[in-house]
DNA sequence: GATAAAATGCAATGCAGTTGCACATGCTTA
DNA sequence: TAAGCATGTGCAACTGCATTGCATTTTATC
């Protein structure tokens, strides 16, 4: 329902333009994280920069989080519902499959407590595993 | 002692050219990981590409490991002695300090066992923490 | 509908990484 | 030692991805 997507965006302070609704709809349907290139490939008629800025806006407003999976391109995935303050949104593991080259959020695998050396003050944690995903193993 | 550095390189199957010895010496003196740009800045007269290929060769031969710390540029740091098979060389935490912008290997903080969902087969793990290092906190 | 704010499209730029190729240097071995 | 081959180096050019400027269009508000 487009109405729902509209209110989703409005609730986060994002003007629900046509392009943004399409991108949000697309994101909702993905099981893997999405790169700008993925969007370009899917929305052939759309302008690359608009897609870029759409992702950026979504990230700023906390509806997606950025994933650096060690490949050359940044990925994005929708934040889980629980992610309000958006400070610890991506405090979960990301898995990059070397076979199908998809990147997955694995929110069920929480990042364990870390014992840092004295005086190191953590602010952000990123845990990325490469390997074979459940489809490819 | 240059002789020592030479044998170090030879032992890993790397021809000890002048540039390589200088780079190795430089790496040995660093406490933080090093980017290509760092090398360029330090070795003003050296050719960028030669430095690039030096790092690449060092990585291939297992004397440095690559660190993707979430910044725009890849860093390199010497592998610990223990790193023979070089498969699990960088199985330790990397810390990027948002203040001094240095990246540190924290080999004492081992990466904990992870409970991945069924059928996910890990091959490589990268754990990066951003925050304030011991000098800056 | 007039107005201001925000989004879009196109072009251009920046930057890190990478490659090709000609030349230089070092190693091998006859 | 000299020739011949393998490897390293320097310069130029190119790639991919991210990012910005600016004129135009669309949207929200009055
Ligand atoms: Mn995620
Ligand atoms: Mn390290
Ligand atoms: Zn896969
Ligand atoms: Zn610091």
Q: Any CB–CB contact under 8 A between B128 and chain A?
A: yes
Residues B137 and B131: their CA atoms lie apart, in Å, by 9
pLDDT tens across A72-112, in order?
Answer: 999 999 998 766 554 556 678 999 999 999 999 998 887 88
Residues B97 and B94: their CA atoms lie apart, in Å, by 10
Q: Which CATH code of 2.120.10.10, 3.40.50.620, 1.10.10.10, 3.30.1050.10 fits the domain covering B2-131?
A: 1.10.10.10
Residues above pLDDT 90, as percent of chain A: 81
Instruction: Please tell me the pTM assigned to this model.
Output: 0.90
**Under 8 Å between Cβ of B94 and B69:** yes
Judged by its nearest atom, the ligand closest to the C-alpha of residue A136 is: 3
Nearest in space to B74 (alpha carbons), one of B23, B128, B14, B125:
B128
Residues 13-52 of A with CB under 8 A from B: none
Neighboring chain A residues of B128 at a CB cutoff of 8 Å: 125-127
Binding site of A for Zn(2+), by residue number, is 97, 100, 133, 136
Tokens (6 digits) for A123: 């602010």
pLDDT tens across B65-122, in order?
Answer: 999 999 999 999 999 876 655 455 667 899 999 999 999 999 888 788 888 999 999 9
Nearest in space to A17 (alpha carbons), one of A46, A59, A60:
A46
**Cα distances (Å, whole numbers) of residue B122 to A136, B37, B115:** 12, 32, 10
Tokens (6 digits) for A6: 């509209």
Judged by its nearest atom, the ligand closest to the C-alpha of residue B99 is: 4
pLDDT tens across B24-62, in order?
Answer: 999 999 999 999 999 999 999 999 999 999 999 999 999
- Contact yes or no for A134 and B119 at CB 8 A: yes
* Domain extent listing, chain B: 2-131
């Amino acid at each position: 329902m487009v109405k729902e997507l509209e209110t989703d965006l409005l609730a986060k302070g994002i003007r629900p333009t046509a392009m943004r609704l399409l991108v949000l709809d697309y994101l909702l349907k993905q099981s893997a994280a999405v790169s700008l290139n993925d969007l370009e490939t899917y929305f052939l008629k759309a302008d690359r920069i608009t897609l870029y800025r759409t992702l950026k806006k979504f990230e700023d407003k906390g509806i997606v989080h950025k994933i650096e999976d060690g490949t050359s391109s940044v990925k994005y995935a929708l934040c889980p519902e629980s992610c309000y303050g958006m400070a610890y949104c991506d405090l979960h593991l990301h898995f990059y499959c070397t076979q199908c080259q998809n990147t997955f959020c694995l929110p069920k695998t929480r990042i364990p407590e870390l014992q840092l050396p004295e005086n190191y003050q953590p602010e952000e944690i990123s845990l990325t595993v490469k390997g074979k995903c459940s489809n490819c193993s």
